[in-house]
Amino acid sequence: MQKKEKSAAKAQLLREKRELDHMRLRYLAAEEKKVIATERKELDELKSELSQLVILLFTLVVFDFY
């Protein structure tokens, strides 16, 4: 009987470990999504700034202000 209890306890621990591993991976994926969203926002801001600089440069060239 004791062997069955040990086996059942081992199986339970294995299930719990798998569940914890799965939870950890989900947490890491959520954190990665946050990082990606932040980086995407920063990239969009840089693109916008670059576009504004291009417009300014074009304006200066067209109107010969440089």
Q: pLDDT tens-digit profile of 25-56? A: 999 999 999 999 999 999 999 999 999 999 99
Q: Measure Cα distances from 40 to 27, 51, 53 in Å.
A: 20, 16, 20
Q: pLDDT tens-digit profile of 50-60? A: 999 999 999 98
**Domain range for 28:** 1-66
**Number of domains composing the chain:** 1
- For residue 35, give the H/E element and its range: helix 2-62
State the pTM of this model.
Answer: 0.67
Which pLDDT belongs to residue 62? 87
* Confidence check: pLDDT of 22 > 80: yes
